[in-house]
Structure formats: C-alpha cells, structure tokens
Amino acid sequence: MTDGEFKIIFTGPMGAGKTTAITALSDQECVSTDVVNTDLEQCDKELTTAALDYGHIDIPGASGVRLYGTPGQERFRFMWPILANNAAGVIVLLNGQHPDLDEHLSTFVDAFWEGGSMPMVIGVGRLSDDDFFTVDAITEALVERNINPPVLSVDVRRKDDVLLLVEALLCQIEVNELGLAEA
C-alpha cells in the first residue's frame, strides 16, 4: 500500500449490498468475482460474490482508499482474514429486514472487531422510512457488549450514503490512530 492509502473492508451477510456499495463508490471499474447464485433459499438474487470485490476511490494529489468486499456466506469465511489483513477499518453492512439480523450482527462484529483494535462502522440497509427502532436496537445490543461503533441507516444504492459510511470510518481510523499515538 502506498503512503496515505487506506485499505478498508466491506463485509456483512449475503444480500446486504456490499458489491452494490463498492460499485457505487469506486472511481474505477470494480474487480468482481460474481458467480451464479444457486442458494435462492438464503437470498433470491442472480449473482453472488465468491471471493472478493475491489474498487478504488481516488483522492487527487493526496491519497486513495482501496475498497475490498468480502463474500458474505459462512462457507467463504476463510476469505475474511485474508482480506482483512492490513485493513485500516471495516464497514459492516446489514440487511435491516432480515429475520437473522441479530445473528448477522454478532457474526460479523465478532469476526472483525479484533478486541476493539479494528475501527468499525455499521451500516443498516433496507429500513423503511418509519423504522426508528432498528438502528437504536443494534446500537443498544452493541453497547451491552461494550462495543460502540457508529451505526447508520443507509441505502447502499446511493453514493452519498455509502460515502457517509466511509467518512465515518475514516474518522474512526483517525481517532484510533490518535489513541494509539497517545498511549
């Protein structure tokens, strides 16, 4: 990684919108490892990521942000630490309407939190306009576990929403680095 470049990870369960988010943000054509999805029971969509997504945000004259997406299914879990190696932070995307939302939250926070050393932001998608409960419920569930990453409602199809997640994560990374410098 060149100086001033961040590598950040988009993770979360199948169908949470990781590939969509990276595609919405990337200034370059994304590298995709989409394959035909045969597990329509778990998620009714045509394609799924089998290895990784990759995109890049160019920041002229300064640095850039490398965007890596993980596969969401447990069977591809071996890819998660490979992709998380040397990452500056993680964005966990969740489907707010999924019946297994709590389980998904635990799985991905546990896999990437690294005892608090990994800056993290949670993005919750597919919430209805009048859902004022889910984001608070997730925040409370995390607080109960002494974990306090920002939790934001997002529409991953909207570039501004995804950018907000990235900006929140960059703030977390900065805070983390300041904390490490002061320690």
Partner 1 sequence: MKAGSVISKTAISMAEKQLKIFSDSTKGVTSAVLLSSDGFEVAALQVDKKSASRLAAMGSSLAAISSAIAKEAGISECSRLIVESDEGVVAVMKIPNLEPPMALAVVANDASLLGQLLWGAKTCCEELSKKLGNQS
Binding to partner 1 (CB under 8 A) within 112-141 occurs at none
The H or E element that residue 7 is part of is strand 6-11
Selected binder of partner 1 within 26, 48, 95, 134 (CB under 8 A): 48
Selected binder of partner 1 within 5, 7, 76, 152 (CB under 8 A): 76
Q: Does the footprint of partner 1 cover residue 43 (CB under 8 A)?
A: no
Residues in a beta bridge with 93: 123
Q: Does the footprint of partner 1 cover residue 73 (CB under 8 A)?
A: yes
- 70 and 18 Cβ atoms separated by less than 8 Å: yes
| CB neighbour class for 137 (10 Å; exposed up to 12, middle 13-18, buried from 19) | middle
Ramachandran region, residue 144 (left: φ > 0; alpha: ψ -120 to 50; beta: rest): alpha
Q: What is the CA radius of gyration of the chain?
A: 16
Taking CB under 8 A as the binding criterion, the range among 1-9, 41-49, 104-112, 154-162 that sits at the site for partner 1 is 41-49
Nearer to partner 1, 31 or 147 (CB): 31
Q: Does the footprint of partner 1 cover residue 50 (CB under 8 A)?
A: yes
Selected binder of partner 1 within 9, 79, 154, 166 (CB under 8 A): 79
Q: What residue ranges bind partner 1 (CB under 8 A)?
A: 31-42, 48-52, 71, 73, 75-76, 78-79
